[in-house]
Amino acid sequence: MIKLIIQALKRFAWFKRFNAKITYELLAKNIPAEDWHFMNYGYTPNSFEPKLEVPSDPKIQKYSLQMYHYLASKANLEGKQVLEIGSGRGGGAKHVASHFKPASYIGLDIASSAVDLANKIHHVPGLKFIQGSAESIPLVDNSIDVILNVESCHGYGCVDTFLKEVKRVLKPGGYLLMVDFRNSPENMKILEGQIQNSGLIQVSKEDITTNVVQSIEAEDESKKARIKKLIPARWQKLFNEFAGVVGSRFYETLKNGTRPYYRFVLEKR
């Protein structure tokens, strides 16, 4: 019953904003674990992509880190002004800021407790985290070369407003690198329509659903162990669904193709 009510409320922009803020505020506040850096479902690269050496330490969320690495490789970041929208606990920002050597990297997130946690645990020259909304980016026009957006825009009140803001703050020739899922092929079509209407030019689009499914499967054991360690027993069932473990509805719908997951590269010309 509660699930049905939440599904119905998710049609309203105000509820989506409220839901995203409360969820991620509470998560960072109540589980400030300093070795939990990522909140995306991860990416297993294709065999033709260059191999990234990641130490096989279960404390490092290798597949989530790979999601950032392979997304960030879609544009040249060296010496550039980079903004990430929806930076969460900041692990992706830390990796990209250290590995790809941008001049500056701002991680923006709606949840101030996630911003505080990220500022506390990640220290890389030129990297900082600030609180703010994807729908009202607190930066001036034409100031950013590349924007990253990882599994975040499904929770925004209005994706059209987000894309308008992206277009405003990007310099001409700048890129939006974005990965996200939608809970049906029809809703992915809606996102594609929103992109088309945004005035940003689609440079490439890839269906990476299989790569995400493979990552969920490869990481399942360590993810379940992390949940057992960090989440109070009474919340573990709910959290397994949220975390998309093998057997969850999230995982099953990705695997059977009814929840597509795409990667987009968009340019402001």
- We find the least distance from the C-beta atom of residue 110 to ligand SAM, in angstroms, to be 4
Per CB under 6 A, the list member of 42, 45, 102, 155 interacting with ligand SAM is 155
Count Cα atoms within 13 angstroms, Cβ side, for 83: 28
Contact of 107 with 127, CB cutoff 8 Å: yes
The sign one gets for the Cα dihedral 228, 229, 231, 232 is positive
212 sits near ligand SAM (criterion: CB under 6 A) = no
- We find the least distance from the C-beta atom of residue 41 to ligand SAM, in angstroms, to be 9
198 sits near ligand SAM (criterion: CB under 6 A) = no
113 sits near ligand SAM (criterion: CB under 6 A) = no
Per CB under 6 A, the list member of 83, 100, 102, 109 interacting with ligand SAM is 109
Contact of 168 with 238, CB cutoff 8 Å: no
| Segment interacting with ligand SAM (CB under 6 A) among 105-113, 206-214, 216-224, 235-243 | 105-113
Q: How many residues bind ligand SAM (CB under 6 A)?
A: 23
Q: How far apart are CA 69 and CA 139, in angstroms?
A: 25
114 sits near ligand SAM (criterion: CB under 6 A) = yes
| Segment interacting with ligand SAM (CB under 6 A) among 146-154, 167-175, 211-219, 248-256 | 146-154
88 sits near ligand SAM (criterion: CB under 6 A) = yes
86 sits near ligand SAM (criterion: CB under 6 A) = yes
Contact of 140 with 230, CB cutoff 8 Å: no
| Segment interacting with ligand SAM (CB under 6 A) among 51-59, 133-141, 204-212, 259-267 | 133-141
Nearer residue to ligand SAM within complex by CB, 134 or 177: 134
- We find the least distance from the C-beta atom of residue 103 to ligand SAM, in angstroms, to be 21
- We find the least distance from the C-beta atom of residue 94 to ligand SAM, in angstroms, to be 11
Contact of 206 with 263, CB cutoff 8 Å: yes
Nearest to 162 by CA among 154, 257, 203: 154
Residues linked to residue 183 through DSSP beta bridges, in sequence order: none
- We find the least distance from the C-beta atom of residue 269 to ligand SAM, in angstroms, to be 25
Q: For the chain, what's the residue count?
A: 269
Instruction: Select the residue whose beta carbon is closest to ligand SAM and give its number.
Output: 88
Q: List residues near ligand SAM by CB under 6 A.
A: 20, 24, 38-40, 85-88, 92, 108-111, 114, 133-135, 150-152, 155-156
